[in-house]
Structure 1
Amino acid sequence: MKRILMLFIIICSCKEQKKVEEIVSNISVFVPIEEEIENQFDKNFILGKFNYRKDTSFVKVKKMHSSKTLYIKRETYLSFVRMFNSAKLEGINLKIISGTRNFYEQKSIWERKWERYKNLKPINRAKKILEYSSMPSTSRHHWGTDIDLNNLNNSYFDKGIGKKEYDWLVKNANKYGFFQVYVSKVNGRKGYNIERWHWSYIPLSGEYLKHYRKNIKVDDISGFKGSELSKELDVINVYVNGVSKQLIEDK
């Protein structure tokens, strides 16, 4: 019986590995991380002011991995596929429900919420939006390194299948380069509320964040309603840098 079980596991593992290889073969040639980072330290890229659909370092996510049409960085996707297949072997199904959003898409989200909370004073309106949504030019989703998984409600991950998914991610996601960036504020983290669905591919996003901190100024955050509040809200220090301490420390 044990031999049959071991044979079954080996066969499944081979099948899953084959799936990864098939997906990888359908994604354009891999770009080494050093070259990719060097090419993407452009200011417009860091601020999200580009068309990722025309950027060859971005790829379209396959339907089996996403709930809708979306794009992410090639390297991010390759690592996600490996994580997806490992989770699948343990009965966990991971779905990307949000990927890359450029400046213009983030602006649309921001300004829609800006109108929704128009009964509030401008500063309070901005703070309300910033509970979960970034100002355009400050979102990690600009970079194609950050993904939202399975559900956009924290309560979903409290019990049942949602808890199993979250527990698996907490235990295993780091092995594939993915880290939860907005965790509990118990340890003094500032900025956005906890987002248990938001996971970042740190081998790339870590470098982009370092570059952002050194080169982007508050005057670069403009071109949308309420952007003049970015200085008063100290958005770079409080929100861009408002991630888990382990992700912001220079190595």
Structure 2
Amino acid sequence: MGIYKILKTAILSLFFIVTVFSCKPKKAQNENLLLSKKNQLKKAFRYPNYLNKNYILGKFDYMNSNNFVIVPKDLSNKKIYIRKEVLVAFLKMQTAAKEDGISFKIISGTRSFAHQKRIWDYKWNSKYKDLPPLERVQKILLFSAMPTTSRHHWGTDIDLNNLTNSYFTKGKGLNEYNWLLKNASKFGFYQPYASKKEGRTGYEEEKWHWSYKPLSQLYLKYYNEHISIEDITGFDGSKYSKNLQIINKYVHGINSELK
């Protein structure tokens, strides 16, 4: 009986050892297979062919790009270009808004590096010229992006109806803003520079600025992977971009829905 117990114990032990060691390779194989699939998916992902550093920095000719169109005159106050996909989505949103007695006009769209630099240079050389350089940069950054960091470079972001927050706090403007807050996301649009009450960094709130998420989120991903602080150059005050953490606090200082 003693020998039987010993043999039984030995057989069970051997069975346990064989089972454990036979399972480990399978587990390892499964883990390797999962890792392989993840790598394959990662390799399979490709950005659109047109997307490159010049595009994301606003250094391309969007006016002669087949991907961009002019906003119809009745929906803008000047000649404005945006991406085709953005206009299609905006037209759908405009149609829905009209049913509720709301109307929108695009007052700013795509801006090249050169265009953004003209805005920056005006504020640097004229509007805030009496401030010390660092204070001047910080003052400009309340509402204007450094060239190479503006979302308006991408053709995905639009400014609507008025460029002052106060307009959207009463009467007609308040009705427009409330409609956007309730409905814009249905058409892919989000307010990148929403209230800073929840800790958002960077630019001040801009109730007029709306971004088309299906594209801008992709472009932000590309920006994060390909653009560094060394790319933020070519204009007065650019040397302060590192100390002010322009990418972390401003490029990323957006509504979490767009990240």
What is the TM-score with the length of structure 1 in the denominator?
Answer: 0.83
Picking from 60, 70, 87, the partner of 1:50 is 60
Kindly tell me: are residues 40 and 90 of structure 1, through their superposed partners in 2, closer, same or farther at Cα, counting changes over 3 Å? same
Gaps of 5+ in 2: 1-44
Post-superposition, which runs of at least 4 consecutive aligned residues in structure 1 deviate over 2 A? none
C-alpha displacement of 1:81: 0.5
Is 1:187 matched up with 2:198? yes
Structure 2 partner of 1:38: 48
2:105 alignment partner in structure 1: 95
Structure of greater Rg: 2
Letter in structure 1 aligned against 2:106? I
1:41 is displaced (CA, Å) by 2.0
Given the superposition, is the C-alpha separation of residues 99 and 118 from structure 1 closer, same or farther in structure 2, using an over 3 Å criterion? same
After superposition, what is the alpha-carbon deviation per residue over 1:66-118, rounded to whole angstroms, capped at 9, x for unaligned? 11110000000000000011111111010000000010000000010001212
Distance 1:108 1:118 in 2: 15
Cα drift, residue 64 of structure 1? 1.4
SS at match of 1:39: coil
Counterpart CA distance in 2 for 1:149 and 1:36 is 32
Verify: 1:73 aligned to 2:102, yes or no. Answer: no
CA contact (8 A) 1:48 1:137 kept: yes
Aligned partner letter, 1:183:
A
- Rounded to whole Å, the distance in 2 between the matches of 1:170 and 1:37 is 30
2:231 corresponds to: 220
Which residue does the alignment assign to 2:131?
120
Distance in 1 of aligned mates of 2:158 and 2:180:
13
**Kept after mapping to 2: 8 A contact 1:37/1:204:** no
- Unmatched tracts of structure 1, length 5 or more: 1-34
* Cα offset, 1:209, TM superposition: 0.5
The number of aligned residues is: 214
TM-score, normalised by the number of residues in structure 2 = 0.81
Q: Which amino acid aligns with 1:216?
A: I
Task: Pick closer, same or farther for the CA change 1:100–1:36 going to 2, 3 Å.
Answer: farther
Give per-residue Cα distances to partners, 1:114-156, cap 9 Å, x unaligned: 0121211111100000000000000000000000000001010
Q: Distance in 1 between matches of 2:49 and 2:205?
A: 32
Identity %: 55
Given residue 85 of structure 1, which amino acid in structure 2 is its aligned partner? T
Q: Is the 8 A contact 2:202 2:250 kept in 1?
A: yes
RMSD: 1.3
